[in-house]
């Protein structure tokens, strides 16, 4: 497999490129969707192809093709060179400074014990439909749905520096949800089995059935829940809810390409300017946020990135102080770092790599602390569980998030459910309001599989994690008029 | 791929022995894309892709399989066998419908000779000219210039066939100064050098007028939303609310709710002159003009073939474009007629806050200005808003002419003057 990739690199080098790399990807996907007592779809796909990236006279060119032959390699390299010449019409004044990296030979395979593509469709149907039937036993539930989604990406990478790398990563994702109708309203409640780079072994039918009963019950409860109060309250977030807040307010904010203006026209920039490194108080001293592209079963754990840099672990925020960014080889020099953090990924063989959020998580508290104890110290507040409405500005400052289920906290205990609750804050204000997070025994990871960035849009996946965490005096508003 | 080539390929696939009904969909794209920031090209990409989707139906069982090789007969034969093998293992679903089996005329409303002739070098040269204009104005420019040359074809073993070539051109540009930014776009099935120049100049002008914004204390006020802001919001509303089955089952903002929504019309039409689209959907069904709101009065919403047959109503397939009518009032006149309000260039990161009321939240971005006594007086700090589309449509107090917008779905939207719009918090 490497021979043709090396041919592409050789051709680019012969044409005078200062750097070139080539990737071949084989992508297999399956998505099984259930609706009530049936499967509404089963979609399989297989997709193969390669992309060649060249850096010539300070300008990038990229071309790709699904046809993997020597003749096509030569054609695509020529096309990439032609595109690089077109790029050179508006060159970067200071050129491209490409961080050095040893030419490694790497092999990486994710820990998938039960190949999801080999599992019988009947077993998948049984899992999803059985969960739906449990949800439909609740008479308030009008629609029960679910899905199983699997992806296997085999990737071969070579570059002009001599790197040869291969990865084989399978990832799995599933969710079920119920829509209840009544009381002049309709409400949705879901449960997501955390997306990981494990296989079908991570799905247990008993857990689906147990969650289905709870999901249906809480969907019904949401119908008669009272509208959320407005004002300033203490809030407690579960690990899934906070995972999305970490993603939006820390992950994207600390992508260095955004800071350098590369995403201004689409995803935006970031308030985390370079002068904040090592000094800026991002959060309270309870807040340590760690990036780790070696995290076991993490969705961004792929052995190496699409710049040919091995996965690494680093601190983005330590004890509340901002440390450093996620980078790729093109960006490390902007912050005086000699090596890329290895967080540059493409979503397809026809896409160019861009800096992506790594696996990123909030470290659990060091002292023993349970969710009940966390809530016990809230006189009047809200408890947010799961992901719902999420929106953040283009500087990653002003955000507003909801929860898939929200409870009122009264006198240190969870009380009734609330409707249309949203918390709205600014990133540093929010993270500085964090006064406690539960200990490691309550820490959970949650996969994000739909992270959009780039222009044209690319979709990436990564894992976040947290233990239930408390924030003081956060603004609560409503998504529905009273 | 032209019509004859598509027809020949689909015919050859349909000839592969199979048990039940086979649907074949071909999609091909060649997309030239130049991305730039800081007045320099950062990415220059040519993406060439083609996919073949095989849909197998055996009675009430249905599955699909997609591959990206159109010129690999052995792989296609194996894939046909595989998709039917998977289909045999599907449980029955009463909602599975037979293939439509219709031969459709090729309208190619969204085909452009001009776009077809654009080469990589042309895209690069136009982007370079935009970068030079930014450098001359001492303003950072960032944007994307993209030209997509596409075809879509459909065929089924019930005799159905459809094919169209189509184009999609997207130029959007953000001009950034030290203390504010401006944005503009050109969307459509075609693009010329002059379109790039016009949008670039508009973004630079917006940026110049956006420097040093002042705080407008967030509250309910009159807004003028430019077409992109209207389009992004209406696209989300359409996605969340305009399904007939959800309405009938009590899962929609329009369940038990026939109240008029203002007086504008909201419709889809592949032949729309502002932003035409492919005239059939991925299931081989023809798309005619469909009206969702007729002068504010709710009509039958998107309806699948299954739901139409169950309810005894017309099929209304999901469309390929959406259009909001307008009264054709120029933006300058909308501003001149506003005593006190806010002009919004663009919305960002819109998300649902409440499906029952079609409530959404989002941010203003890249050019937000105060209007006082009919004039733009100064830029304001960007704001978050929370607003119901049901309320918004009832609060429209003026509108422009629909223009092409929408990066993800083809749309034609007017600027709107809306009373009592809810800003809730400040951004940066």
Same domain, B14 and B46: yes
CA pair distance B280, B157, nearest whole angstrom: 17
**What percent of chain B stands above pLDDT 70?**
100
HSE of B285 in the Cβ direction (CA atoms, 13 Å)?
18
Q: Which residues of B touch A402 (CB under 8 A)?
A: 353
Q: Which residues of A touch B93 (CB under 8 A)?
A: 35, 38-40
Is the CB of A86 less than 8 angstroms away from the CB of B34? Answer: yes
pLDDT tops 80 at residue B407: no
| More confident: B71 or A236 | A236
Helices (H), A142-182: none
Q: Which among B206, B239, B268 is the end of a domain?
A: B206
Q: How near does any CA of chain B get to the CA of A288, in Å? A: 24
Test mutation, B145, B178, B180, B353, chain A, max A CBs within 10 A? B353
Query: CA–CA distance from A365 to each of A40, A385, A387, A412, A429 (Å)?
Result: 43, 19, 22, 20, 20
- Asked if the C-beta of B31 comes within 8 angstroms of chain A's C-beta atoms, the answer is yes
Is the CB of A45 less than 8 angstroms away from the CB of B66? Answer: yes
pLDDT tops 70 at residue A178: yes
CA pair distance B385, A387, nearest whole angstrom: 20
Q: Which of A370, A444, A367 is nearest to A412 (CA)?
A: A370
- The answer to whether B187 touches B407, Cβ cutoff 8 Å, is yes
CA pair distance B425, B32, nearest whole angstrom: 39
Confidence category of residue A482, pLDDT binned at 50, 70, 90: low
Same domain, B182 and B287: no
Partner-chain residue, chosen from B46, B49, B365, that has the shortest CB–CB distance to A394: B365
Average pLDDT over residues A269-291: 97
- Asked if the C-beta of B38 comes within 8 angstroms of chain A's C-beta atoms, the answer is yes
pLDDT tops 90 at residue A375: yes
- Asked if the C-beta of A117 comes within 8 angstroms of chain B's C-beta atoms, the answer is no
Question: Mean pLDDT score of chain A, rounded to an integer?
Answer: 96
Same domain, B174 and B322: no
Residues β-bridged to residue B187: B170
- Asked if the C-beta of A142 comes within 8 angstroms of chain B's C-beta atoms, the answer is yes
Residues 160-199 on B with a CB inside 8 Å of A are 172-174, 176, 181, 183
* Cα angle B102-B321-B318, degrees, rounded to a multiple of 5: 50
Same domain, B376 and B300: yes
Sequence-separated (6 or more) residues with CB below 8 Å from residue A9: A20, A21, A22, A158, A159, A160
Tell me which chain A residue has its CA closest to the CA of residue B426: A398
| More confident: B280 or B47 | B280
CA pair distance A208, A147, nearest whole angstrom: 12
Q: Which among B156, B179, B206 is the end of a domain?
A: B206
Partner-chain residue, chosen from A46, A350, A455, that has the shortest CB–CB distance to B144: A455
- The answer to whether A162 touches A186, Cβ cutoff 8 Å, is no
Q: Is A114 left (phi over 0), alpha (psi -120 to 50) or beta?
A: beta
- The answer to whether A291 touches A358, Cβ cutoff 8 Å, is yes
Partner-chain residue, chosen from A45, A90, A393, that has the shortest CB–CB distance to B41: A90
Same domain, B135 and B160: yes
Same domain, B228 and B182: no
Beta strand A226-227 pairing with A413-419: parallel
Average pLDDT over residues B174-193: 96
Tell me which chain A residue has its CA closest to the CA of residue B358: A480
pLDDT tens-digit map of B194-215: 999 999 999 999 999 999 999 9
pLDDT tops 90 at residue A447: yes
Phi, psi of A394 (to 5 degrees): -75, -5
Residues 321-340 on B with a CB inside 8 Å of A are none
Average pLDDT over residues A300-321: 98
Same domain, B253 and B199: no
Q: Which residues of B touch A63 (CB under 8 A)?
A: 45-46
pLDDT tops 80 at residue B428: no
Same domain, B90 and B160: yes
pLDDT on residue B408: 80
Average pLDDT over residues B144-150: 96
**What percent of chain B stands above pLDDT 90?**
89
| Structural domain range at position B378 | 213-428
- Asked if the C-beta of A455 comes within 8 angstroms of chain B's C-beta atoms, the answer is yes
- Asked if the C-beta of A175 comes within 8 angstroms of chain B's C-beta atoms, the answer is no
Q: Which among B149, B173, B206 is the end of a domain?
A: B206
Give chain B's domain count.
Answer: 2
Is the CB of A262 less than 8 angstroms away from the CB of B37? Answer: yes
pLDDT tops 70 at residue B43: yes
- Asked if the C-beta of A391 comes within 8 angstroms of chain B's C-beta atoms, the answer is yes
Same domain, B227 and B319: yes
Q: Which of B117, B112, B135 is nearest to B200 (CA)?
A: B135
pLDDT tops 90 at residue A171: yes
Residues 204-263 on A with a CB inside 8 Å of B are 261-263
Q: How near does any CA of chain A get to the CA of B408, in Å? A: 10
**What percent of chain A stands above pLDDT 90?**
95
pLDDT on residue B121: 86
Domains annotated for chain A, with CATH where assigned, are: 2-224 (3.30.2290.10), 227-478 (no CATH)
* Cα angle B366-B372-B377, degrees, rounded to a multiple of 5: 50
Tell me which chain A residue has its CA closest to the CA of residue B133: A90
- Asked if the C-beta of B111 comes within 8 angstroms of chain A's C-beta atoms, the answer is no
Q: What is the pTM of this model?
A: 0.96
Tell me which chain A residue has its CA closest to the CA of residue B93: A38
Residue A258, token pair as written in the block: 């955004």
- Asked if the C-beta of A266 comes within 8 angstroms of chain B's C-beta atoms, the answer is yes
Tell me which chain B residue has its CA closest to the CA of residue A32: B63
Q: Which residues of B touch A393 (CB under 8 A)?
A: 348-349, 363, 365, 382, 384, 427-428
Supply the CATH number for residue B201's domain: 3.30.2290.10
Q: ipTM score of the complex? A: 0.94
pLDDT on residue A108: 98
- The answer to whether B171 touches A455, Cβ cutoff 8 Å, is no
pLDDT tens-digit map of A87-143: 888 888 888 999 999 999 999 999 999 999 999 999 999 999 999 999 999 999 999
- The answer to whether A288 touches A362, Cβ cutoff 8 Å, is yes
Same domain, B202 and B237: no
Average pLDDT over residues B78-96: 97
Same domain, B289 and B158: no
CA pair distance A123, B126, nearest whole angstrom: 54
Same domain, B75 and B134: yes
Q: Which residues of B touch A422 (CB under 8 A)?
A: 353, 361, 386
pLDDT on residue B16: 97
Tell me which chain A residue has its CA closest to the CA of residue B46: A63
pLDDT tops 70 at residue B330: yes
């Amino acid at each position: 497999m490497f021979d043709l990739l090396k041919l592409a690199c050789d051709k680019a080098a012969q044409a005078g490129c200062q750097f070139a790399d080539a990737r071949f990807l084989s992508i297999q996907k399956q998505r099984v969707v259930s609706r009530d007592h049936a499967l509404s779809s089963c979609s399989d796909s297989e997709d193969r192809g390669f992309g060649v990236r060249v850096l010539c006279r300070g300008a990038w060119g990229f071309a790709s093709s699904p046809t993997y032959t020597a003749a096509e390699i030569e054609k695509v390299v020529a096309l990439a060179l032609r595109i690089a010449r077109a790029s050179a019409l508006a060159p970067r004044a200071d050129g491209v400074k490409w961080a050095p990296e040893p030419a490694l030979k790497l092999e990486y395979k994710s820990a998938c014990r039960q190949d999801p593509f080999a599992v019988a469709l009947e077993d998948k149907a049984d899992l999803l439909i059985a969960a739906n039937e449990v949800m439909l036993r609740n008479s308030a539930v009008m629609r029960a749905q679910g899905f199983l989604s699997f992806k296997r990406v085999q990737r071969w990478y070579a570059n002009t520096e001599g790197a040869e790398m291969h990865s084989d990563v399978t990832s799995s994702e599933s969710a079920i949800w119920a829509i209840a109708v009544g009381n002049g309203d309709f409400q949705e409640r879901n449960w997501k089995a955390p997306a990981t780079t494990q296989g079908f072994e991570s799905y247990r039918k008993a857990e689906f059935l147990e969650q289905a009963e709870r999901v249906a019950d809480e969907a019904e409860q949401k119908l008669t829940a009272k509208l959320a109060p407005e004002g300033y309250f203490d809030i407690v977030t579960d690990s899934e809810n906070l995972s999305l807040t970490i993603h939006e307010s820390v992950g994207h904010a600390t992508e260095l390409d955004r800071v350098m203006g590369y995403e201004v026209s689409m995803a935006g920039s970031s308030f985390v300017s370079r002068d904040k490194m090592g000094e800026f108080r991002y959060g309270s001293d309870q807040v340590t946020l760690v990036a780790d592209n070696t995290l076991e079963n993490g969705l961004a754990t792929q052995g190496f990135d699409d710049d040919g840099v091995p996965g690494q672990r680093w601190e983005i925020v330590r004890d509340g102080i901002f440390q450093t960014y996620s980078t790729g080889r093109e960006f490390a020099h902007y912050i005086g770092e000699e090596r890329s953090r290895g967080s540059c990924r493409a979503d397809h063989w026809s896409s160019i790599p861009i800096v992506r959020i790594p696996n990123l998580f909030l470290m659990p508290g060091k002292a023993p602390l349970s969710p009940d104890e966390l809530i016990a110290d809230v006189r009047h507040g809200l408890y947010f569980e799961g992901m719902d409405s999420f929106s953040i500005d283009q500087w990653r400052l002003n955000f507003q998030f909801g929860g898939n289920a929200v409870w009122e906290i009264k006198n240190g205990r969870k009380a009734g459910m609330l409707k249309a609750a949203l918390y709205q804050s600014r990133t540093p204000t929010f993270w500085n309001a964090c006064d406690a997070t539960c200990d490691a025994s309550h820490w959970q990871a949650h996969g994000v599989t739909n992270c959009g960035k780039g222009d044209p849009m690319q979709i990436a996946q990564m894992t976040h994690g947290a233990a239930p965490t408390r924030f003081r005096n956060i603004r609560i508003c409503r998504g529905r008029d009273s | 791929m032209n019509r004859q080539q598509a027809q020949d390929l689909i015919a050859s696939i349909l000839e592969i022995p199979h048990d039940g009904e086979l649907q074949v969909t071909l999609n091909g794209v060649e997309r030239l894309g130049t991305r730039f920031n800081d007045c320099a090209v950062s990415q220059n990409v040519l993406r060439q892709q083609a996919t073949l989707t095989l849909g197998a139906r055996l009675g009430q069982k249905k599955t699909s399989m997609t591959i990206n090789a159109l010129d690999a007969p052995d792989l296609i034969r194996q894939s046909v066998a595989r998709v039917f093998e998977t289909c045999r293992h599907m449980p029955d679903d009463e909602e599975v419908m037979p293939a439509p089996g219709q031969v459709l005329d090729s309208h190619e409303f969204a085909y452009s000779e001009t776009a077809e002739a654009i080469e990589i070098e042309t895209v690069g040269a136009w982007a370079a000219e935009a970068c030079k204009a930014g450098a001359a104005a001492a303003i950072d420019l960032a944007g994307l210039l993209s030209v997509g040359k596409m075809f879509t074809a459909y065929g089924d073993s019930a005799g159905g066939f459809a094919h169209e070539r189509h184009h999609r051109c997207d130029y959007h540009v953000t001009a950034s100064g030290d203390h504010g930014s401006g944005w503009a776009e050109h969307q459509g099935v075609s693009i010329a050098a002059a379109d790039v120049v016009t949008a670039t100049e508009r973004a630079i002008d917006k940026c110049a007028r956006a420097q040093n914004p002042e705080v407008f204390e967030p509250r309910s006020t009159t807004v003028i939303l430019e077409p992109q802001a209207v389009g992004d919001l209406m696209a989300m509303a359409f996605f969340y609310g305009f399904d007939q089955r959800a309405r009938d089952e009590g899962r929609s903002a329009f369940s038990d709710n026939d109240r008029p929504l203002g007086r504008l019309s909201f419709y889809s039409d592949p032949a729309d002159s502002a932003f035409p689209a492919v005239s059939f959907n991925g299931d081989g069904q023809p798309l005619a003009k469909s009206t969702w709101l007729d002068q504010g009065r709710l009509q039958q919403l998107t309806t699948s073939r299954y739901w139409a047959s169950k309810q005894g109503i017309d099929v209304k397939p999901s469309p390929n474009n959406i259009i909001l009518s307008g009264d054709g009032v120029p933006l300058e006149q909308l501003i001149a007629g506003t005593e006190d309000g806010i002009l919004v260039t663009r919305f960002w990161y819109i998300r649902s806050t409440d499906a029952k009321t079609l409530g959404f939240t989002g941010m203003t971005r890249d050019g937000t200005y105060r209007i006082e006594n009919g004039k733009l007086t100064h830029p304001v700090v960007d704001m978050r808003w929370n607003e119901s589309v049901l309320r918004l449509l009832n609060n429209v107090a003026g509108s422009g002419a629909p223009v092409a917008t929408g990066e993800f779905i083809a749309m034609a939207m007017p600027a709107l003057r809306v009373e009592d719009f809810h800003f809730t918090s400040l951004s940066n």
